[in-house]
Copies of this chain bind each other. A is one copy, B any other.
Amino acid sequence: MSSEGYSITPWEARGKIDYDKLVEEFGVEKISDDLLEQIRRLAGDLHPLIRRKFFFAHRDLNLVLDDYANERGFFLYTGRAPSKAPMHLAHIVPFIMTKWLQEKFGVNTYIEIPDEEKFLAKKVDSLEEVEPYVRQDILNIAALGFNEDKTFIFRDSEFIGRMYKPAVLVARYINFSTARAVFGFDGETSIGLIFYPALQIVPTLFEKKRPLIPCGIDQDPYFRLQRDIAPRLNRFKASELLAKLAWGLTGPESKMSASEPETAIMLNDPPDTVRRKVMNAYTGGRATVEEQRRLGGVPEVCTVFHWYTLLFEEDDKKLEERYWACKTGKLLCGECKAELVKRINNFLALHNKRVADAEKRITKYMYDGKLASEMWKWEFRP
């Protein structure tokens, strides 16, 4: 998808994104306050990521809530394509959202690890290059504490035996001209990447319930396609809970990117690296301390404030205090950054302890937990 001034595809987002325009162009809906209230009522709570509308748009989320309220149930599906670098903070945001939804609604959760995608997209030169990160990514996801009996994490290369037949059914309904229009494929695209959308759609067919997919809005094209196909296969149209793109540390128009280390906090960054990256981060601060005391900062464009908002200040009141302390020149960038460094390092220390614990559990998610065992016997029946 591209339009004047910005472009957004599952592979790259550039420039300043006009989310209102995107909502209109993609034909999705913004999450209304009413819908938020419904979620709060059913879940008993609202996660900051949705309360603060980082997850800001949706498709059919109202129908998902209806299905839940009327005991028809739903299921969760998301994924992560391993690359040649570890995951960073922005990568786990949708998984944190998904984990929260699983916890609150008690539903099955499917996590696809398309271990071939980056290779087919020519982002890496070999499958071997990706391999070490496949396990690491799965551990990072598992560390978030998904339910062992209700979560299935699967690698495309391993689970393809069960996925290929439904992928063939899906693929039959996607002509090249559609795929080209939706994903921007061209003559240089490998025939493997052209087929890949079928494999990303298959997990939406795993159950005869409505699938809810928490993901970045850049992933919407896959599921827009799915919505044309699913009814023909006697399955539900995908519903989506769509996030904005998290900012990189180099500015509100940047994106965390493993290939530009200064933009991203990697989940395995040591504390001093986190410190260096955050201390160098782009903020809404002024040129001098004097100026900042006088004029105040601009938290609206500050990547440090952005990350407080996403993951590092759960308390709305405290977040607001921080906002005004900045705005009024009371809180300077150095102090604010130092606090974020502390919080990120605490988070990563705990996360990495959980990663070590997850070692024991990943076979549950992948092979022998309740849902995983069932899925290894799964066959698609329309």
Q: Are B157 and A175 in contact (CB under 8 A)?
A: no
Within the complex, the shortest CB–CB distance from A278 to chain B, in Å, comes to: 38
List residues of A whose CB falls within 8 A of some B CB: 116, 119-120, 122, 127, 156-158, 160-161, 164-165, 167-169, 171-177, 179-180, 185-195, 197-198
Q: Identify which of B169, B176, B195 contacts A185 (C-beta below 8 A).
A: B176
The CA-CA distance from A335 to B249 in the complex, in Å, is: 88
The CA-CA distance from A116 to B169 in the complex, in Å, is: 9
The CA-CA distance from A336 to B175 in the complex, in Å, is: 49
The CA-CA distance from A43 to B175 in the complex, in Å, is: 47
With known contacts A120-B171, A127-B169, A169-B127, A176–B191 Cβ distance under 8 A: yes
Within the complex, the shortest CB–CB distance from A358 to chain B, in Å, comes to: 25
Q: Are B165 and A164 in contact (CB under 8 A)?
A: no
Q: Identify which of B168, B175, B188, B191 contacts A119 (C-beta below 8 A).
A: B168
The CA-CA distance from A197 to B192 in the complex, in Å, is: 10
Given the complex, which residues of B lie within 8 Å of A165, measured CB to CB?
Answer: 116, 127, 157
The CA-CA distance from A197 to B190 in the complex, in Å, is: 12
The CA-CA distance from A127 to B31 in the complex, in Å, is: 40
Within the complex, the shortest CB–CB distance from A48 to chain B, in Å, comes to: 39
Q: Identify which of B157, B168, B191, B192 contacts A116 (C-beta below 8 A).
A: B168
17 CB < 8 A contacts A-B: A119-B172, A122-B172, A127-B165, A158-B161, A160-B161, A160-B164, A168-B192, A171-B190, A171-B191, A171-B195, A172-B190, A172-B192, A175-B190, A176-B176, A176-B185, A176-B186, A176-B191
- Closest residue to A117 on the B side, CB-wise? B168
- Closest residue to A160 on the B side, CB-wise? B164
The CA-CA distance from A193 to B175 in the complex, in Å, is: 9
The CA-CA distance from A205 to B317 in the complex, in Å, is: 63
Given the complex, which residues of B lie within 8 Å of A186, measured CB to CB?
Answer: 176
Q: Are B198 and A168 in contact (CB under 8 A)?
A: no
The CA-CA distance from A164 to B168 in the complex, in Å, is: 13
Interface centre among A120, A164, A188, A197 (most CB of B within 10 A): A164
The CA-CA distance from A116 to B190 in the complex, in Å, is: 20
- Closest residue to A171 on the B side, CB-wise? B192
The CA-CA distance from A167 to B168 in the complex, in Å, is: 15
Given the complex, which residues of B lie within 8 Å of A160, measured CB to CB?
Answer: 160-161, 164
- Closest residue to A172 on the B side, CB-wise? B190
The CA-CA distance from A197 to B161 in the complex, in Å, is: 18
Q: Identify which of B158, B169, B188, B192 contacts A195 (C-beta below 8 A).
A: B192
Within the complex, the shortest CB–CB distance from A235 to chain B, in Å, comes to: 16
Q: A-B pairs with the 5 shortest C-beta distances? A: A171-B192, A177-B187, A161-B161, A195-B195, A160-B164
The CA-CA distance from A41 to B153 in the complex, in Å, is: 57
Within the complex, the shortest CB–CB distance from A168 to chain B, in Å, comes to: 5
- Closest residue to A158 on the B side, CB-wise? B161
Q: Are A188 and B175 in contact (CB under 8 A)?
A: yes
- Closest residue to A175 on the B side, CB-wise? B188
